[in-house]
Amino acid sequence: MKSVPSSSYRKKVIVIGNGMVGQRFCEKLVEKDNHNEFEITIFGQEQHRAYDRVHLSEFFSGKTVEDLYLCRADWYEAHHISLHLGDPVVEIDKFKKNIISALGVRLPYDYLVFATGSQPFVPSFLGADKFGVFMYRTLEDLEGITAHAFRARKAAVIGGGLLGLEAAKAMMDLELETHVIEFSPRLMPRQLDETGAALLRSKLEHLGVTIHLNKDTSAIRGKDKVEWMEFTDNTELETDMVVVSAGIRPRDELARQAGLKTGPRGGIVVNDQLQSSDPSVFAIGECALFEGMIYGLVAPGYEMADVVACRLTGTEKVFKTYDMSTKLKLIGVEVASFGDPFGLDTAHSPLVFEDRMRDVYKRINVSEDGKKLLGGILVGDTRSYPMLLQTYLNNIALPRELETLLFEPPDSGDRGAGVMSLPDSALICSCESVSKGKICAAVTDHGVTDIEGMKRCTGAGTGCGGCIPLVKDLITESLKKQGKMVKQAICEHFEYTRQQLYDLIRIKELKTFEEVLYAAGKGSGCEICKPVVASILASIWNDLIIKQATIQDTNDRYLANIQKGGTYSVVPRIPGGEITPDKLIIIGQIAQKHNLYCKITGGQRIDLFGAHIHQLPQIWEELIAAGFESGHAYGKSVRTVKSCVGSTWCRYGLHDSVGFAIELEQRYKGLRSPHKIKMAVSGCVRECAEAQSKDIGVIATEKGWNLFIGGNGGAKPQHAVLLASDLDKETVIRYIDRVLMFYIKTAEPLNRTATWLNKLEGGLAYLKQVIVEDQLGICSQLEAQMQQTLDQYYCEWKAVVENPQLRRQFTHFVNSDDPDPTVQFNQARDQKFPESWTA
Amino acid sequence: MRKEPALTKTLSITEEGKWFTACRTEDVPENGGACVSYQDEQIAVFRLATQNLWFATQNLCPHKRQMVLSRGIIGDEAGEPKVACPFHKQTFSLKSGACLSNQELQDLKTYPVKVENGFVLIYVN
């Protein structure tokens, strides 16, 4: 940690506003403050610390306040920043250089930074303060809207611009009848021309939004709350709530009060160093007025924050006119607008494409000599936007066939090649200002190979996410340039895909890792290829895996799940989640005897934690004696088949879901695969077993069973999709045999069925052809191979318990019988817990 | 409170120390590892049979300070013998003890190893 000089020697920076731009400024200043010269104090009006206002609407689609915060609550303290929330600055004395806050805090400053942002512009009409009228700006606004929406049926949004349509989407998400009121004759008047706006309008109306153009609100009426709106053309609209989103006004009242120069229509006047008329006072973001312009997007705000942080820490940097191109997805309609969308500034020839069948409109403005792109509009299909924007921003010479600009080249596998023609200076991620050069260097110099790695390395793609397709193309192309094929080889030891290796092992009948390495690989292998080969060997031959213990991933090596501290957890199989009281008691007795922590799993089983490695065979000997089998909770294999109660007890149940779940679990138990496989069976459409979140889901219907595949929970939840309906049990099993074997043969390592299906060329339609219609003619082979593997099943733990030589593998030391002396347990809630990580 | 095992620097045979008989060769699986106890130390012994090499390092993974390295998968990276920690797959050179996956992690202590008459001997302080 840096040492902290005593405060009197440090320059005091006060930041007014803890929004996105104010926060970014603090982060940048902390990052560049190598000599610890600055002491930062933040005053924010809202009760919340800085949050992601750009993605505010996601609040309505399930994100929580926590998800939206830009940093952890302890970030400020960790960087010695004092944060005053809910306490706006109310007075500035720029001669004495101090401020007073609403709660009476008086502080001196060396530098003052305005990041006060903007507030919604409220047109002056009657009733704007009525109960049920909301702004669309802060978390508080959104919480108010959500609360009010419970009692509302209809909502009207004033403003048909960018923000207004965003608000309209939120109203749709709240399942309200949504109306948009726009003053001008078209939607998004600053971004779209008449044709583009008309297309957008028809698409939105198709989605159920009612659009009112040329409407000027004169009053909002109602007794205690909003009941109807009146317009200047003497028309009326009944509504239960009104959301005002008719533009923004810079928050400059405090600056004006302090005698700083402001613009005639608002905004703190700044120079290219973001300095106001007082050189020790700066303004950044939406409150700053630069060359007569307010920048209402986050990217230029971030750039301003960076400029000020640079200047304070001694680096020369100035703010230049910023590109205000935008792309957004509105309620399922993609819209983009860049450069000069109307071609008003320069003589130009527009190139227009309109497809009324698909509701697509594209217009680009090209300079008269046909050499330069000036701007454009895209509605309905924005796939070419990233490349068009780059062409425009970097002044790239246009091709002779201008129409190619309007279309994505067909998927020839060379889709990304065009991005490599961009100059290194081309700004790809404008939120984090990451250039093409930096992205390519991350691949060539830092070994980045995927988007996640790129986010960590450069920050590209972590803002609005709009640049991600371009970034992905750049990664792929940079890798290709290095001669690396993307995701082809398993690792440096095997230049095969998993599928190729699978076929090779089956055809050549290879049985050990050494044989596979000798036949198809080089070197000594590693932690990537060894488990992959181990999994393939197990899927095909189903031999006892710990005969080759050292190629197994951690959990498979000891047939248990490693936990903190290096002890293991044990999960006996409880098929379908059905268990007798006797067996429950025995699990309890065994847990008690060996002092194991107990927890019910999400898969309707019981997990016993905290077993030392040497205890495992003994615990299993007792479990097996009581009739239990391995639950394979440790394997990339079939785990459990969850079930609801089903028709035997439940008054809604159509069929016996428990019985079928047990049948499936008994059939597929122990089957090893590229990743874990979870299944569930529900007895009716109420779906209590949550089968649609499983790799294989079966749901009872009046006529039989519906079969779903490709669902999972986890970090990226995905619902399963319907493969076939109203099947009898035998057909369900036949289809599962086929799907699972096809998955096992063709999936990449550690891809679950959802990812596999997403990547499968032709998708679900193709899978149906293969599995249901047997168009490849492989179904009988798939079924036979599945049967061959399943016939080999035996309980792995039984094999170990009965074999003294295998049992001996279960010790911590080879030269002592002692358990690991460093393992320590603590006690909480009447059970034991391991010591938490110390590093 | 858990006893923190000391992380001392890598041993070389020139320093004062002695050879300690750790285990028999068959106690260590081919292309795998095993843990031996020596006084207060836990030492991971590895046998890279594909290259006919033996290695010994501390058993403690410096990442989360867990006594598990002997249970890791071993192999090589561009010819450099390595072990991967079972917990988070941090990889370490078996020769130098340097972390290959995360430069910020401490190096492992390594020990000279030799095999005589079917026994594995490790050089310790």
Report CB contact under 8 Å: B73, A526: yes
Res. B62: pLDDT tops 60 = yes
Out of B3, B28, B71, the one facing A557 most closely (by C-beta) is: B71
Query: How is residue A265 written in tokens?
Result: 């229509």
- Burial (0-12, 13-18, 19+ Cβ within 10 Å), B53: middle
Task: Give A9's pLDDT tier (boundaries 50, 70, 90).
Answer: confident
Average the pLDDT over A41-57 and give the result.
87
Chain length of chain A: 839
- CA–CA gap between residue A768 and residue A96 (Å, rounded): 76
Task: Give B122's pLDDT tier (boundaries 50, 70, 90).
Answer: very high
Res. B21: pLDDT tops 50 = yes
Distance from CA of A808 to the nearest CA of B (A): 10
Residue B1 pLDDT: 35
Residue A771 pLDDT: 94
Residue A834: helix, strand or coil by DSSP?
strand
Report CB contact under 8 Å: A813, B48: no
**Residues A264-293: tens digit of each pLDDT:** 888 999 999 999 999 999 999 999 999 888
Q: Could you tell me which of A760, A759, A756 has the C-alpha nearest to residue A744?
A: A756
Distance of CA A548 to the CA centre of its chain: 38
Going A197 to A201 to A207 to A210, the CA torsion angle's sign is positive
Per the DSSP assignment, residues forming a β-bridge with A82 are A41
Residue A76: helix, strand or coil by DSSP?
helix
Task: Give B6's pLDDT tier (boundaries 50, 70, 90).
Answer: very low
Task: Give A839's pLDDT tier (boundaries 50, 70, 90).
Answer: low
Chain B residues contacting A via beta carbons under 8 Å: 2-5, 22-23, 27-37, 42, 48, 50-51, 62-68, 71-79, 81-82, 84, 86-87, 89, 91
Residue A748: helix, strand or coil by DSSP?
coil
Buried b (16+ CB within 10 A) or exposed e, B77-113: beeebbbbbbbeebbbbbeebbbbeeeebebbbbbbb
| Residue reference for tokens 């397709």 | A469
Most confident stretch, A27-31, A452-456, A473-477: A27-31
What is the homologous superfamily of the domain A561-791 according to CATH?
Sulfite Reductase Hemoprotein, domain 1 (3.30.413.10)
User: Would you kindly state where each structural domain of chain B is located, as residue ranges?
Assistant: 18-112
Average the pLDDT over B31-45 and give the result.
95
Residue A741 pLDDT: 96
CB A618: neighbour CB atoms within 10 A?
16
Query: How is residue B69 written in tokens?
Result: 């390295």
Task: Give B8's pLDDT tier (boundaries 50, 70, 90).
Answer: very low
Average the pLDDT over B75-80 and give the result.
92
For the ranges A269-283, A287-301, A339-353, A647-661, the lowest mean pLDDT is seen at A339-353
More confident: A243 or A448: A243
Per the DSSP assignment, residues forming a β-bridge with A178 are A155
Res. A483: pLDDT tops 80 = no
Res. A570: pLDDT tops 60 = yes
Residue A486 pLDDT: 57
Res. A3: pLDDT tops 80 = no
Chain B interface disruption, residue of A612, A614, A812, most B CBs within 10 A: A812
Task: Find chain B residues with C-beta within 8 A of A564's C-beta.
Answer: 66
- CA–CA gap between residue A500 and residue A773 (Å, rounded): 25
Out of B5, B67, B82, the one facing A566 most closely (by C-beta) is: B67
Q: Is A750 an 8 Å CB contact of chain B? A: no
Task: Find chain A residues with C-beta within 8 A of B2's C-beta.
Answer: 822, 824, 835, 838
Residue A208 pLDDT: 87
Query: How is residue A13 written in tokens?
Result: 């920076």
Distance from CA of A320 to the nearest CA of B (A): 38
Residue A273 pLDDT: 93
Average the pLDDT over A294-305 and give the result.
88
Task: Give A820's pLDDT tier (boundaries 50, 70, 90).
Answer: very high
Task: Report the chain A residue with the minimal C-alpha distance to residue B42.
Answer: A813
Task: Give A414's pLDDT tier (boundaries 50, 70, 90).
Answer: very low
Average the pLDDT over A618-635 and give the result.
96
Q: Which fold does the domain A7-119+250-312 belong to in CATH?
A: FAD/NAD(P)-binding domain (3.50.50)
User: Would you kindly state where each structural domain of chain A is located, as residue ranges?
Assistant: 7-119+250-312, 122-246, 561-791
What is the homologous superfamily of the domain A122-246 according to CATH?
FAD/NAD(P)-binding domain (3.50.50.60)
Residue A413 pLDDT: 40
Report CB contact under 8 Å: A493, B2: no
pLDDT, chain A, mean: 88
Res. A373: pLDDT tops 50 = yes
Q: Is A812 an 8 Å CB contact of chain B? A: yes
Out of B2, B36, B86, the one facing A814 most closely (by C-beta) is: B36
- Burial (0-12, 13-18, 19+ Cβ within 10 Å), A768: middle
Q: Could you tell me which of A417, A383, A386, A388 has the C-alpha nearest to residue A405?
A: A388
Pairs from A46-51 (Cβ < 8 Å, separation ≥ 24): A46/A18, A46/A85, A46/A86, A46/A138, A46/A139, A46/A140, A47/A85, A47/A86, A47/A140, A48/A85, A48/A139, A49/A18, A49/A73, A49/A76, A49/A83, A49/A85, A50/A18, A50/A19, A50/A20, A50/A22, A50/A23, A51/A20, A51/A139
Task: Give A43's pLDDT tier (boundaries 50, 70, 90).
Answer: very high
Chain B interface disruption, residue of A532, A813, A825, A835, most B CBs within 10 A: A813
Q: Could you tell me which of A359, A389, A390 has the C-alpha nearest to residue A377?
A: A389
- CA–CA gap between residue B30 and residue A551 (Å, rounded): 10
**Residues A780-791: tens digit of each pLDDT:** 999 999 999 999
Residue A66 pLDDT: 80
Average the pLDDT over B48-73 and give the result.
93
Residue A2 pLDDT: 43
Task: Find chain A residues with C-beta within 8 A of B66's C-beta.
Answer: 564-566
Out of B34, B71, B78, the one facing A492 most closely (by C-beta) is: B78
**Residues A229-242: tens digit of each pLDDT:** 999 999 999 999 99
Q: Do A733 and A641 contact (CB within 8 A), yes or no?
A: no
Residue B107 pLDDT: 92
Res. A328: pLDDT tops 90 = no
Res. A487: pLDDT tops 60 = no
Residue type, A647: S
Average the pLDDT over A184-199 and give the result.
89
- CA–CA gap between residue A281 and residue A389 (Å, rounded): 35
Q: Do A87 and A101 contact (CB within 8 A), yes or no?
A: yes
Could you check whether A7-119+250-312 and A122-246 share the same CATH topology? yes
Res. A699: pLDDT tops 50 = yes
Residue type, A177: E
Q: Is A816 an 8 Å CB contact of chain B? A: yes
Report CB contact under 8 Å: B30, A835: no
Three-state SS annotation for A552-618 = CCHHHHCCCEECHHHCEEECECCHHHCCCHHHHHHHHHHHHHCCCEEEECCCCCEEEEEECHHHHHH
CATH no., domain B18-112: 2.102.10.10
| Residue reference for tokens 């495992």 | A616
Chain B interface disruption, residue of A567, A815, A818, A824, most B CBs within 10 A: A815
CB A366: neighbour CB atoms within 10 A?
20
Task: Give B9's pLDDT tier (boundaries 50, 70, 90).
Answer: low
